[in-house]
Amino acid sequence: MGRRFCVRCGVLESSDRPIIDGLCPKCFTKERSIVNLPSKIEITVCSSCYALYFMGKWVNAGLRLDEILEYYINNALMKRENIYPGFRDVRAQVIRVGGGKVEVIVKGTYRGVTLSQRMITDVRVTYRLCPRCLKVKTGGYEALIQIRFEGSVDKRLGREVLELISRYKRIVSSITDIEEVKEGLNIKLMSQGVARQIANIIRKKFGAKVVHSWTNAGYVSGKRHSKLTISLRLPTLRGGDIVLLGEKDIALVIDVSESYVKLLRLNDGKEVKLSYDSLWSKGFRKLTSKEYVIVKGKILGYEGGYAVIQEIASGNIYRVRPHKLKDPGSDAEVLIYKGEVYLLR
Ligand SMILES: [Zn+2]
Ligand SMILES: [Zn+2]
């Protein structure tokens, strides 16, 4: 059998100079590639601990970019389908990284002869924090939801809120902590997006008022990092509650639904139906039972546009603007708030 020779330079095959598809090693490395590297290598690295995001996990591949790239090239890219047929033990060694490029020396053996080839390809490194570093840098959360209550803390309502959000799998997996505090509940989450979702759900279901705020949590990977706080104030209104509407209107809560509150305005006896948005924008405060007095009495009659009501217990007489006419002798209730007297029912 005649010895083969290189079709490019004509050199003859020898034991330390195999002919690979018609080319000597020197010509082969000029014209072909031992391994096909992608035109751009894209990797994600933790900006704090330099862990490499690899196959869905964060792995420790070294502390320098060249080490990390070398690990990535040798573990992710040295696949059979990328390697020129007949080559074995193909490894890359990174010799330089910079300017968006990585330069490697690829070595592989062909019929016992080692060939090496210098290759350059584009590289793009995306930095982000791995979950472990994120947790350390952010104190364990990215967003805080504060569940607060208009008036006093309503534990039953708080449980209803937790029950509601526990139905959403994505939300539950993002929660890192639920804390009961004096003012309500604090829910810590890893995701600001999920926090916004929760806020929306609670706003719709409970008519909560939503206030977003950001606190500077220092610098993370050179960027200013902010934690999101969403304060959700729940109206906690139930039928029979007395509220101060705006500056001075006193109202009795008649009915509460998911989308509106029906109120009887005691000043003029008008029934008003308000969405939660308009309720919050008007401003309201649920009065505590210590702030007002309800007096039970009987209607004696009407005088000059006023209903005259006598308190059963004390015999005191109250004159109030009636918002409905009841027969003399029928039961009535009067509400006294800051010295003003209103007909309640
Ligand atoms: Zn040749
Ligand atoms: Zn990290």
Cα–ligand 1 centroid distance for 24 (angstroms): 4
Phi, psi of 28 (to 5 degrees): -60, -45
Rounded-to-10 torsion of CA 40, 46, 52, 55: -90
* In contact, 202 and 116? CB cutoff 8 Å: no
From the CA of 13, the nearest ligand is: 1
* Residue 197, φ and ψ in degrees, nearest 5: -60, -45
Give the CATH fold of the 290-345 domain. Answer: OB fold (Dihydrolipoamide Acetyltransferase, E2P) (2.40.50)
Distance 331 CA to ligand 2 centre (A): 72
Domain 237-287 sits in CATH at 2.30.30
Which neighbouring-strand residues pair with 79?
none
Instruction: Find residue 78's DSSP bridge partners.
Output: none
Taking only the tens of pLDDT, the chain with its 345 residues reads 568 999 999 999 999 999 999 999 999 999 999 999 999 999 999 888 899 999 888 899 988 999 999 999 999 999 999 999 999 999 999 999 999 999 999 999 999 999 999 999 999 999 887 878 777 766 778 899 999 998 888 888 999 999 898 888 778 777 878 889 999 999 998 889 999 999 999 998 898 999 998 887 666 666 677 889 999 999 888 889 999 998 889 999 999 888 899 999 988 888 999 999 889 888 888 888 889 999 999 999 888 888 899 998 888 999 988 877 788 888 999 999 988 889 888
Cα-to-centroid distance, 102 and ligand 1 (Å)? 27
| Cα–Cα distances in angstroms (integers) from residue 189 to residues 148, 194, 227, 338, in the given order | 17, 8, 10, 44
Identify which of 58, 65, 216 has the alpha carbon closest to the alpha carbon of residue 137: 216
Domain ranges, ordered by start, for the chain:
33-128, 131-234, 237-287, 290-345
Strand 87-98 relative to strand 101-110, pairing: antiparallel
219 CA distance to ligand 2 middle (Å): 15
CA distance 336 to 341: 5
What pTM, to 2 d.p., does this model score?
Answer: 0.54
